[in-house]
């Protein structure tokens, strides 16, 4: 369990991303920002891999890359310890979304990038 904690902290610290044309942050706190982005920006009814790519990319654009990594890791940890289904494929989709946020100038470009990567 300690190794998981160290890994999560390391990923959060290494996850800095600068999004071009960064939109305004929807909330001050990390959790509030992540929650607002997912509720307000993420379309419903998406296939799981696309939802992961877009959610992580949108969190990276509106909050930060570190918070996007943290959200993805937290979601998988919750799946692992709860009733969900923790999958390595979800983590790969999260990383793709964060990578897309590095070059996406807007939300549509982010969605196109995720689609181009198979999400």
- pLDDT tens-digit profile of 80-114? 898 888 889 999 999 999 999 999 999 999 999 99
Q: Which residues contact 112 (CB under 8 A, 6 or more apart)?
A: 104
pTM: 0.81
For residue range 31-79, what is the model confidence (pLDDT) as tens digits?
A: 999 999 999 999 999 999 999 999 999 999 999 999 999 999 999 888 8
Query: Domain map of the chain by residue range?
Result: 2-116
């Amino acid at each position: 369990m300690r190794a998981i904690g160290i890994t999560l902290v390391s990923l959060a610290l290494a996850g800095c991303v600068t999004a071009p044309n960064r939109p305004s942050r929807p909330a001050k706190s990390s959790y509030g920002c992540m929650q607002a982005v997912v509720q307000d920006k993420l379309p419903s009814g998406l296939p799981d891999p696309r939802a992961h790519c877009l959610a992580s990319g949108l969190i990276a654009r509106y909050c930060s890359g570190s918070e996007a990594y943290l959200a993805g890791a937290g979601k998988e940890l919750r799946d692992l310890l709860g009733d969900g289904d923790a999958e390595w494929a979800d983590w790969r989709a999260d990383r793709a979304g964060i990578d897309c946020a590095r070059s996406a100038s807007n939300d549509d470009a982010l969605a196109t990038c995720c689609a181009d990567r198979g999400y």
